[in-house]
């Protein structure tokens, strides 16, 4: 039994030595894994830090964009109000132009009617004056004939008296 026990101790010693080598190898592997994990954790921390910086920058940009959008919205409201005011002003001007045009048309119609009345009155007066002139001309011709006749009678009387 001694041999067996010796063999068993030797066998256990060998197995223990193998287990120790295996344990050292595993310890080295664990150490390598820890180093890899530490490196990976460092890379992850750097990536997280970069992501946080990007997110912070994005939040700031979003906040800035919201402020700019609010300002642009207010400017748009003001511009819309100015545009509406300009439309109202334009409509008032169009209404004023239409009113002035109507008034000008009315004045022109009145002036045209007054001119037509004046022209008709002048035409009538001219015709009356022509008729009167014709009457006066006929009277003058009759008087001239009477004068010529009287002159002829006077000559005849003079000749008789002479």
- 5 pLDDT band (50/70/90 cuts)? low
**Can you give the pLDDT at residue 157?**
87
Q: What gap in Å lies between CA 11 and CA 137, rounded to an integer?
A: 176
Classified as helix, coil or strand, 162 is coil
**Can you give the pLDDT at residue 119?**
93
Measured CA distances, 138 to 50, 83, 96, 128, 130 (Å): 125, 80, 61, 15, 12
Q: What is the mean pLDDT of residues 122-143?
A: 92
Q: What gap in Å lies between CA 109 and CA 138, rounded to an integer?
A: 42
pLDDT of 7 above 70: no
Q: What gap in Å lies between CA 73 and CA 75, rounded to an integer?
A: 5
- 1 pLDDT band (50/70/90 cuts)? very low
**Can you give the pLDDT at residue 113?**
94
Q: What is the pLDDT of residues 36-79, one digit of tens each?
A: 988 988 988 988 999 999 999 999 999 999 999 999 999 999 99
Handedness of CA 133, 135, 141, 146 (dihedral sign): negative
Q: Tokens representing 161?
A: 């008296």
pLDDT of 3 above 80: no
Q: What is the mean pLDDT of residues 84-93?
A: 95
Average pLDDT, the chain: 90
């Amino acid at each position: 039994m001694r041999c067996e026990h010796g063999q068993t101790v030797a066998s256990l010693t060998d197995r223990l030595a193998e287990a120790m080598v295996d344990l050292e190898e595993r310890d080295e592997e664990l150490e390598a894994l820890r180093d890899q994990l530490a490196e990976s954790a460092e890379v992850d921390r750097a990536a997280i830090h970069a992501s946080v910086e990007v997110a912070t920058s994005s939040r700031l940009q979003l906040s800035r964009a919201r402020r700019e959008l609010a300002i642009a919205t207010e400017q748009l409201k003001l511009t819309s109000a100015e545009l509406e005011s300009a439309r109202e002003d334009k409509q008032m001007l169009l209404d004023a132009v239409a009113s002035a045009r109507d008034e000008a048309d009315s004045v022109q119609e009145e002036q045209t009617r007054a001119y037509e009345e004046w022209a008709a009155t002048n035409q009538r007066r001219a015709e009356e004056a022509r008729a009167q002139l014709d009457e006066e001309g006929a009277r003058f011709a009759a008087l001239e004939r009477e004068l010529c006749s009287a002159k002829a009678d006077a000559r005849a009387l003079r000749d008789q008296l002479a």
